A = this chain, B = another copy of it.
Amino acid sequence: MPGLTIGDTVPNLELDSTHGRIRIHDFVGDSYVILFSHPADFTPVCTTEMASMAQYAAEFEKRGVKLLGISCDDAASHKEWIKDIEAYKPGTKLTYPILADPDRDAIKQLNMVDPDEKDAEGVNLPSRTLHIVGPDKKVKLSFLYPACTGRNMDEVLRAVDSLLVAAKHKVATPANWKPGECVVISPGVSDEEAKKMFPQGFQTADLPSKKGYLRFTKV
């Protein structure tokens, strides 16, 4: 199936939402945006995910990252469902918009269709897809989970932190990295350049190939 993937520009769709009409590119503006789908309102995993996203919203906001949900239910349904979500986690307020795609055209364009999940009419529902979209409107990272598997908001937050630190410094983050841990210097940066860019110094792993490509630093 064709579909949006990393590096692609998110289509500039205009849809209804719980906050009125939203045009995706206008919503993104100069920010990073987490655009994420859920199969259906008033279903179990989706309720836990929406509540979890609402609980993590302040962390994303601190980083200047906006949240934007989407499913194929209409905005009126979303609004009724939000009452359930907020009751499920008392004290939580769901303040981010949820797009409505009753025509199921947007979820196709956004590569958010779950081929195994159908509604009572046999029409495909969205998967648990999550795209991190950059200020350039391009997809930086995507998670595609099936209906049975609720996402992990800690991993979403970790991925956001990695993208932000990589965009700010000329670095990348190793496997299982967490904020505060060492990062690695990109292969395109020579040792000479690295000395200027990272006056705090860096450590090169001594490996059998002696190629000197694995250089750790703190930023």
Interface residues of A (CB under 8 A from B): 1-3, 5-8, 42-45, 47-49, 51-53, 80-81, 83-84, 87-88, 111, 113-116, 127, 140-155, 158-159, 162-163, 166-167, 171-177, 184-187, 205, 207-209, 211, 213-215
Q: Which of B143, B149, B154 contacts A166 (CB 8 A)?
A: B149
Q: Which of B51, B141, B142, B148 contacts A163 (CB 8 A)?
A: B148
- Kindly list chain B residues whose C-beta atoms are within 8 Å of the C-beta of A143: 142-144
Tell me the minimal C-beta distance from A138 to chain B in angstroms: 9
7 further A-B contacts with Cβ under 8 Å, apart from A43-B187, A143-B144, A148-B167, are A6-B127, A7-B113, A84-B209, A142-B142, A145-B159, A148-B163, A154-B176
The complex is assembled from copies of this chain, and their number is 2
Inter-chain contact B175/A208, CB cutoff 8 Å: no
Assess A205 versus B88: contact at CB under 8 Å? Given A5-B144, A151-B175, A172-B149: yes
Q: Which of B142, B172, B207 contacts A87 (CB 8 A)?
A: B207
Q: Can you list 11 A-B pairs with a CB-CB distance of less than 8 A? A: A6-B114, A6-B144, A6-B146, A43-B187, A44-B185, A48-B174, A52-B176, A148-B173, A149-B173, A150-B172, A150-B173
